Amino acid sequence: MSDRTRRDEQVNATREALLRAAERLFAEHGVHAVANRQISEAAGQGNNAAVSYHFGTKVDLVRALARRHAEGIEAGRLRMVAGVGGSAELRDWVACAVRPVTEYVEGLGTPSWYGRFIAQVTADPALRAVTTEEFAAASPSMRKLQEGLNRCLPDLSAEVHAERSAMTRHLVTQMVAERERALAAGDPTPRADWRGTADGLIDAVVALWQAPVTREG
């Protein structure tokens, strides 16, 4: 093995350790409550400037975390969207919004921190813009998902569609974070497994999309 290869492997290992440590600390304490020095220490790095050296700013670190998760979730959603094809069933398309997330988090094992991390950053206006940009860049499947929902709900206005899309994102984000938190703490959960959690979310989100619309004025 060449010195260059060993150096690259060492850099990659350090970056991965920093990402894992940052995600856990952000999930448990909030992004703004965690200093770069704490991340370096938690990752076993003696150099307190390790985060700045490998990622730049804290925003850049958040962006890197969002990007790697977005790619994993997108892979699952692409498979699901291809599977439902031209379905006219609302539940099929809602499942495409929910199951890729729950299945991805389940695959991370217990404990995981993704759900709580995303719940933290999406509550912050500046960081939400960063994560939204990363997920949008990694998600060609979202256009097909939106088209599928439109076919199932042709009478919804663009404004109501956008509103209910936002509601769906918030519900999925918060419920995934809630289950992840309970599993990490060893607390009881309403559903026995992640598949059941997805089923419950899909039931609720389908009802949300089918709810009557109160017209303004």
Residue where a domain terminates, one of 56, 80, 97: 56
Q: What are the tens digits of pLDDT across the range 74-115?
A: 999 999 999 998 899 999 999 999 999 999 999 999 999 999
Report the mean per-residue pLDDT for the chain: 92
Sign of CA dihedral 78, 196, 176, 210: positive
Mean pLDDT of 54-59: 92
Q: Are residues 51 and 139 in the same domain?
A: no
Q: Are residues 10 and 36 in the same domain?
A: yes
Q: Could you tell me if 104 and 32 lie in one domain?
A: no
Mean pLDDT, residues 53-71 taken together: 92
pLDDT reported for residue 195: 98
**Is residue 215, in this structure, part of any structural domain at all?**
no
Query: What is the domain range of residue 30?
Result: 1-56
d(CA 102, CA 176): 7
Residues 114 and 137 in one domain: yes
The pLDDT score that the predictor gives to residue 47 is 81
Residues in Cβ contact with 42 at an 8 Å cutoff, skipping those fewer than 6 apart: 21, 24, 25
- What lies within 8 Å, CB to CB, of 36 at 6+ separation is 48, 49, 50, 51, 52, 58
Question: Does 217 fall in a domain?
Answer: no
Assess whether 193 and 89 both reside in one domain: yes
In the chain, the amino acid numbered 214 is: T
Q: How many domains does the chain have?
A: 2
Task: Give CA–CA dist 39/64, Å, rounded.
Answer: 15
- C-alpha pair distances (Å), 204 with each of 54, 91, 98, 201: 42, 10, 11, 5
Residues 65 and 38 in one domain: no
Both 91 and 189 in a single domain? yes
Confidence band of 40 (pLDDT split at 50, 70, 90): very high
DSSP for 10-39 reads: HHHHHHHHHHHHHHHHHHHH-GGG--HHHH
Residues in the chain: 217
CB 82 within 8 A of CB 93: no
Same domain, 49 and 67: no
Indicate the range of 10-19, 93-102, 157-166, 172-181 predicted with least confidence: 10-19
Q: How many CA atoms lie within 13 A of 109 on its CB side?
A: 0
8 — pLDDT class (breaks 50, 70, 90): low
Residue 216: inside a domain: no
134 and 49 both lie in a single domain: no
- Which of 17, 39, 56 is the C-terminal boundary of a domain? 56
Output the pTM of the full model: 0.91
